[in-house]
Amino acid sequence: MPEGRVDHALLRRLAEAVGTEHVFADRERVEPYTHDETQGLSAWPEAVVLPADTAEVSAVLRLAYEAGVPVTPRGAGTGKSGAAVPTHGGLVLSLARLNRILEIDRENGFAVVEPGVITEDLQNAAAEQGLFYAPDPASRGSCHLGGNIQTNAGGLRAVKYGVTADHVFGLTLVLADGSVIPAGGKNRKDSSGYGLVRLVVGSEGTLAVVTRAVLRLLPLPKSRGLLLAPFASLPAAAGGVEAALCSGPTPSALELVEGRAFGFGARIKETAFPFPDAEAHLLVEADGETPEAVAADLERIGAALLDAGAIDVLTATERRRMEELWAVRRAIAEGLKAYTTYSGVDSVVPRARITDLVRLARAAGAKHGLDVVSYGHAGDGNLHVNLLRTERQKTDAEWRAAADAAHEDVVRAALSLGGSISGEHGIGVKERRLLPLRHTPEAIGLMQRIKAAFDPKGMLNPGKVFP
């Protein structure tokens, strides 16, 4: 592990590289960079540096590499696994100033962007050109595309359009020693050597720093519609997932949300939500070329949900109403953070096992005296299981012990169902102790050798991913 310190000489050289105002070490300005959205996790870097372009990123990494100082790359800090927390001190490398949309290439269907672009800003810029950037994390209004790339973010529309990796075709990479490597580009097909782009996507800042990305854009769907289906129980709603998916049309989004979870989102948005007494809901969106085609798809899906036990089906096709419903869904995580003490498990299983995962997650919470509130992207088997502190945990130590034990039980349950540790939040610090539950020692060893090939001194984001 790197053990160098950030001394006055290094700070001076960094300031020469990026400008004095973009390097700081005072506690007040550094504090926001000590944590991300992971509950209960923080660590102090020695300094923060904000380069403005690829050349400045290269210079910063070269200086840190020569000094033996670890570097933690950082986007918006919206991650939930601790990947952006500087657990080994050193430098935080913020990419917030690399925030330009460089090109919307309508003819070829690509955007060229810097990593500090907010995801929703790209979606809006593409829409103005009649195009569509499909990955849609719940935090799209604040998360950065660079963070999406490094965690292979999923989101609400993954059921139809896939995850971030399915839309990344080119990257400009800066390695730990400052070397700059272009990879991929605007070709839709390219079978020329190892796929460096796909390898870096989801690597959580441990292999390289991304300073530019070529992202696929699709034609913008001309029509959308949304169904809200309440169910009497969470297992019943989970059972409705397969009914919706087998009805014929492929939804653009299919969310399973426990009623109490919607309550947290509605509280944050200060609004009422339909069917507040239902134990669980399915939110199902369809998109297409015409209102008539979307209406036909929604009718088929709605009929399947009623046959599967839905109490009712509410249809929304007016944009304002759809956005109101989605806004409550997107606010759930914010509500949980504001009104509870919780630990989240980013569970993922084959989607036909969602019902089993719901049952086992509730059992894990009950075993350790915790409340459980779940919601997530049921269309691709990704359920966010939230373990809530109760009166049974009298001290913080009791809470942490119960949360850690229940967390591991939920992960083991997902694995027993053919699932994995994380669907979209990544491993970071939070899940690294559990990595051997998912991968053999040989597989982990291979990953570590890949890491060493990119970063032989272990300078980039040390202490992440590997146990």
Q: Is residue 201 part of a domain?
A: yes
**Structural domain contains residue 448:** no
Same domain, 381 and 317: no
Residue range 192-204: mean pLDDT, rounded: 96
Instruction: Give the pLDDT of residue 1.
Output: 67
142 & 213 share domain: yes
Rounded CA gap, 119 and 91, in Å? 25
**Domain presence at residue 450:** no
> What is the token pair recorded at 304?
């399947």
Distance in angstroms (rounded) separating the CA atoms of residues 377 and 368: 25
The answer on 210 and 106 residing in a single domain is yes
Each residue's pLDDT tens digit, 394-410: 999 999 999 999 999 99
**Lowest mean pLDDT segment, chosen from 270-274, 304-308, 426-430:** 270-274
For Cα atoms 137, 140, 143, give the angle at the middle one, nearest 5 degrees. 100
* Residue-number span of the structural domain to which 374 is assigned: 340-428
The pTM is what?
A: 0.94
Give the span between the Cα atoms of 117 and 190, in whole angstroms. Answer: 26
Query: Is pLDDT of 222 > 80?
Result: yes
Task: Provide the pLDDT confidence category of residue 454 given band limits of 50, 70 and 90.
Answer: very high
Question: In sequence order, which residues have a C-beta less than 8 Å from that of residue 303 and are 6 or more positions away?
Answer: 247
User: Does 379 map to a domain?
Assistant: yes
Same domain, 251 and 168: no
Q: How far is CA 97 from each of CA 51, 64, 126, 450, 456, rounded to the nearest angstrom?
A: 7, 19, 21, 29, 28
Do residue 346 and residue 390 come from a single domain?
yes
Residue 91 belongs to a domain = no
Beta bridge partners of 185: none
Q: What's the number of domains the chain is made of?
A: 3
| Residue 225 pLDDT > 80 | yes
Average pLDDT over residues 151-158: 93
- Give the torsion through C-alpha atoms of 454, 460, 462, 465, to 10 deg: -60
pLDDT at 2 over 90: no
Q: What is the mean pLDDT of residues 258-279?
A: 94
Q: What is the average per-residue pLDDT within 201-215?
A: 98
Query: What pLDDT score was predicted for residue 40?
Result: 86
- 214 and 260 part of one domain: no
The pLDDT of residue 3 is 72
Residue ending a domain, choose from 292, 323, 354 = 323
275-313 confidence digits (pLDDT tens)? 999 999 999 999 999 999 999 999 999 999 999 999 999
Rounded Cα gap, residues 390 and 373, in angstroms: 12
Q: Do 209 and 105 sit in the same domain of this protein?
A: yes
